[in-house]
Structure 1
Amino acid sequence: MTSARRTLIDPESTPFYHIINRCVRRAFLCGEDKLTGKSFEHRRGWIVDKIKTLSTIFCIDICAYAVMNNHYHLVLKIDTDKAKSLSNKEVISRWCKITKGHAVATKHMNGKTLIEGERLLLDGLLAEWHERLSSISWFMRCLNEEVARRANREDECKGAFWEGRFKSQALLDEQALLACMMYVDLNPIRAGIADTLHSSEFTSIQERIAELDSLDSNTSKPTNPGKPTNQEPELAVDNPLKPLAKFDGSTHLATQSGIPFHFCDYLELIDWTGRVIRHDKTGVIDSKQPKLLNELGIAPDAWITSAKEFRRQYSGVSGRWDAMCEFKRQHQSGKWSKGKACSNALHPSP
C-alpha cells in the first residue's frame, strides 16, 4: 500500500530527498517515438526550466537532476533555515508567483488596514503558505501539473500524463546522498544513451561541468584568486534563476549549508565511476581509488553496485541501517525496511 507523503518526508530527519516521476501509458516525456518518428526532445527543457523557476520560489534547492525519455530524477534539499527567515511579505510575494493568492493578502501588501476578521484570515493563510513553500509535495505538484497540461495540449489528448504520485527516498547521511547523486547524474551513461559526462544531456553534472568550462574559457586568470580551487564556480550574478545547490565541503550532513563534499572530489569520483560503468569493468577497478571512497571507507565493488542499482536497493529511505530502522519506526509505524545488505556495504563497521 502506498504511504502518505508525511510519513516519507520529514525535514527534521533529513533535508535531502531523491524524487522519481514516470509517465503513464506509452507517453513520452522526452526522446523520440520510434513508432511515429515524432521527437519530444524539447520537453526536457520544460522540466529543467520549471524546476529552476520553482526553486527560486520555494525554499528548496536542486542538488542533482536527470531528465530521461519517460521519467526524471531529482535530488532535492529542503532549506529549512531559509524558510524560517521568510517575512510575511516574502511569503505572500513568493506564493502569489504560483497562485492567484487571496484578496486579503493583496490588501495587506498594498498597505491597507485590515479589520479583525481579515487579520485572522491572513494569519491562517500565512501559516499555510509558509508551510507549503518548504513542501516537496507542493513543489512537485506545481512541476507536474504544468508539464502534464503542456504535454496533453501538445499531444491533443486528455487524461493522466503521470503514472501516479511521485516516489521519494529520504537520504539520511553522506553515503546515501553521495550514492544517490551519483546514480542520478550517471543515468544517461548507465542507460547507454551517453558516452561521457559532457554528453549527458539535461543532467546536473553536465550543467556543472559546462559552467566550469565556460569560466575557464572566458578568463585567463581566476576570477577570485583567494577562493579555494576545490569549490564549485559561482553563477553569474545576473542569472535570474537560482543556481544548483553548492558543494560546501563540510564533513557532516547536520552542519552543512549545501552539499557536504568538495566539488573536485565529486568530479573525480563520478568520472572514475562513469568510466567503470561505461566500459562494463565491474571487478576490474583501478587500484588508485577516488579520495571520497577512501574517506568514507566504501569498498569499490559495493560502490559500483550502488551507482548502478541505487533506486532498486532501497524503498523510501536510505542510510545507515540503524538510522533507516529508526526512521521507519518513527514515521511509518515500524514498517519493514528494505536494503540492509546494501546499507551495510556502504556503511562499513569502524
Structure 2
Amino acid sequence: MTRPPRAEQFTPDEVCIVHAVQRCVRRAYLAGVDPISGKDYSNRREWIRRRMEALASVLAIDVLSYAVMSNHMHLILRNRPDVVADWTDNEVALRWLKVFPGRRLEEHLAEPTEIDVQTLCRDKTRLTTIRQRLSDISWFMRALSEPIARRANKVDECTGHFWEGRFKAQRIVDDAGLLACSMYIDLNPVRAAMADSPDHSPHTSAFDRIEAGKGKEIESAAFDLIPVPTAEAGKKLCETPLDELHQQRRVKRHKSTGRKVLRDGWLAPLTLQPNTLSTDPQTHKAGFRSSDRGFLSLSLGDYLRLLRWTARQGVGGKKLPAALAKILTALGIDASMWRDLVWHWKQHFGKSSCVGRPESMRANAERTGHHWHRGQTSASSCFV
C-alpha cells in the first residue's frame, strides 16, 4: 500500500501534529559505530539536535518530542500557522533568509542584510508563499535533512544519497495517540538496548527535559534574528579578503549565538496551560522556539513517572500504579495494554498513516475521503 499524499495528512494552513521518521540509506553510518571500519559517527547526533534547535527558533514549527538513533531519527512536530500570522512582513522575510539565503551578490556573508529583507518584503506574492512555507512540516524536514546530508557526505568524502527517501509521516489525531507516540519515541534508546533508562538516553526529548529539571543549560543554537546593517555589509565586502569571509561563514554556521538556554528551552513545553484560549497562539518572545503552547494534559512529573515505569517493563510486566492508570483511562487507553502499546508500537501503528484511538482514526479517514486507516483494527485492543 502506497503512502498517502502529504496534502491528505497535513497542510501548512491548518494546525496539526505529525510523527516524522527519517532513515539513513547507509544504516549505521548516520550516528552510530560502523561495525566494519570501527569508526564512531556518534557526534552526528549533536549535529542533528543543534540543527533542529536552530530551525525551532525561526520556523513556525513546534518540536514536541524527538530521538536521534544510530540509523534514523524520530520527531513529533506541530505546525503553527497561527504563530506566523502574528509575525510582521519583516520578521517573515528575515526568518526565511536565515534558513534559505538564496543566491545573492553577498551570499558569501551567509547573513541577510537589511536590503535583502526590504527587497523580499516588497514582493508580496512571494512573501505570501513564504508565510505558508514557514509553517510547513515538509519544509522543516527539508531544512533539517539537506544540510546534514551535505555535511556527512563532505566528512565521508563521498557523494550520493544520504537519506533513504522522503520522510515517513503519521498524523496524530488525539491526545491518546500523542501520549503513546511521545513515549514510544522517548523510549527508543531503551527498546534498542542503547540505554537502561530515559535518564541515560542523550539526544532524546525526555533526556533534555530531565536535565533541564536539574537546571542544566546549553549554548543556544538559535539563529540571531538581526539583519546585517547595509553599511557593515558593504564595508566587509570592500575590506575583508574573500577567503577570510568564507572562513567566517563556516565558523558562524556552527557557532552558537553565545546565549545560554535550559536544555529543553527550544522544545515545546510538555504541559498544556489551563484556562488558555485555544485561539491564543502563545507566541514565544525570547527567540528559542515558535510558541509556549504545551501539548499534553498532564504534568511533566506525571509524564516522567509513567515513562520510567514503562521503561522498566521490557521483560515481564507489573501492574500499573493506580495514579498512572487513572491518567491513561481518562485518555481512553486500556491501562492493562499500555506496555504492549508502547513496546510493540510498530505492530499497531507501523504501517499506518494515522495515529490515535480507533474512533479518531475513523473520523480522520472520513475527512480525507477514505473508509479506514491501516492499524485501526489492531490498535483497538489497546483502547477503551
TM-score for the superposition, normalised by structure 2 = 0.75
Amino acid at match of 1:327: N
- 2:338 equivalent among 271, 290, 303: 303
| Structure 2 unaligned residues grouped into runs of 5+ | 105-111, 217-258, 281-292
Taking the aligned partners of 2:29 and 2:335, their CA distance within structure 1 comes to 35
Amino acid at match of 1:259: F
- 1:243 equivalent among 262, 266, 290: 266
CA deviations 1:14-34 (Å, max 9, x no partner) are: 521111010114451111011
Q: In structure 2, what is the equivalent of residue 214 of structure 1?
A: 215
Any residues of structure 2 matched to 1:138-287 within 5 Å, and which? Answer: 138-214=139-215, 238-239=260-261, 243-249=266-272, 255=278, 257-260=293-296, 261-277=298-314, 280-282=315-317, 284-287=318-321
Question: 2:53 matched to 1:17?
Answer: no
Q: In structure 2, what is the equivalent of residue 344 of structure 1?
A: 380
**Contact in 2 for aligned 1:276/1:285 (Cα 8 Å):** no
Report how far residue 127 of structure 1 moved.
0.7
The more displaced of 4-13 and 244-253 is 244-253
| Structure 1 unaligned residues grouped into runs of 5+ | 216-236
Cα gap change, 1:110/1:336 in structure 2, threshold over 3 Å: closer, same or farther?
closer
Cα gap change, 1:102/1:327 in structure 2, threshold over 3 Å: closer, same or farther?
farther
Taking the aligned partners of 1:91 and 1:40, their CA distance within structure 2 comes to 36
Q: In structure 1, what is the equivalent of residue 366 of structure 2?
A: 329
Cα gap change, 1:151/1:108 in structure 2, threshold over 3 Å: closer, same or farther?
closer
Report how far residue 61 of structure 1 moved.
1.0
Taking the aligned partners of 2:207 and 2:95, their CA distance within structure 1 comes to 29
Taking the aligned partners of 1:253 and 1:325, their CA distance within structure 2 comes to 29
Amino acid at match of 1:262: S
The alignment partner of 1:239 has SS state of: strand
Taking the aligned partners of 1:26 and 1:297, their CA distance within structure 2 comes to 37
Cα gap change, 1:344/1:2 in structure 2, threshold over 3 Å: closer, same or farther?
closer
Amino acid at match of 1:17: V
**Contact in 2 for aligned 1:20/1:166 (Cα 8 Å):** yes
The more displaced of 335-344 and 257-266 is 335-344
Amino acid at match of 1:247: L
**Contact in 2 for aligned 1:92/1:101 (Cα 8 Å):** no
Aligned residues: percent identity? 35
The alignment partner of 1:264 has SS state of: helix
Amino acid at match of 1:339: G
CA deviations 1:137-185 (Å, max 9, x no partner) are: 0000011101111111111111111111000111111100000000000
**Contact in 2 for aligned 1:14/1:172 (Cα 8 Å):** no
Cα gap change, 1:272/1:181 in structure 2, threshold over 3 Å: closer, same or farther?
same
Report how far residue 39 of structure 1 moved.
0.3
Taking the aligned partners of 1:127 and 1:11, their CA distance within structure 2 comes to 12
CA deviations 1:71-128 (Å, max 9, x no partner) are: 010011112321221111111010000122587x97876768x9xxx95xx1111111
Cα gap change, 1:295/1:335 in structure 2, threshold over 3 Å: closer, same or farther?
closer
Aligned-residue CA RMSD in angstroms?
A: 3.0
Q: In structure 2, what is the equivalent of residue 316 of structure 1?
A: 353
The alignment partner of 2:99 has SS state of: coil
**Contact in 1 for aligned 2:17/2:76 (Cα 8 Å):** yes
Q: In structure 1, what is the equivalent of residue 327 of structure 2?
A: 292
Report how far residue 336 of structure 1 moved.
4.3
Taking the aligned partners of 1:205 and 1:183, their CA distance within structure 2 comes to 11
Amino acid at match of 1:276: Q
Amino acid at match of 1:300: A
Amino acid at match of 2:319: I
Any residues of structure 2 matched to 1:87-166 within 5 Å, and which? Answer: 87-100=88-101, 119=122, 122-166=123-167
The alignment partner of 1:20 has SS state of: strand
**Contact in 1 for aligned 2:90/2:118 (Cα 8 Å):** no
The more displaced of 5-14 and 301-310 is 5-14
Q: In structure 1, what is the equivalent of residue 247 of structure 2?
A: none
The alignment partner of 2:29 has SS state of: coil
Cα gap change, 1:214/1:111 in structure 2, threshold over 3 Å: closer, same or farther?
closer
TM-score for the superposition, normalised by structure 1 = 0.81
Taking the aligned partners of 1:295 and 1:190, their CA distance within structure 2 comes to 26
Report how far residue 287 of structure 1 moved.
4.9
Cα gap change, 1:136/1:110 in structure 2, threshold over 3 Å: closer, same or farther?
closer
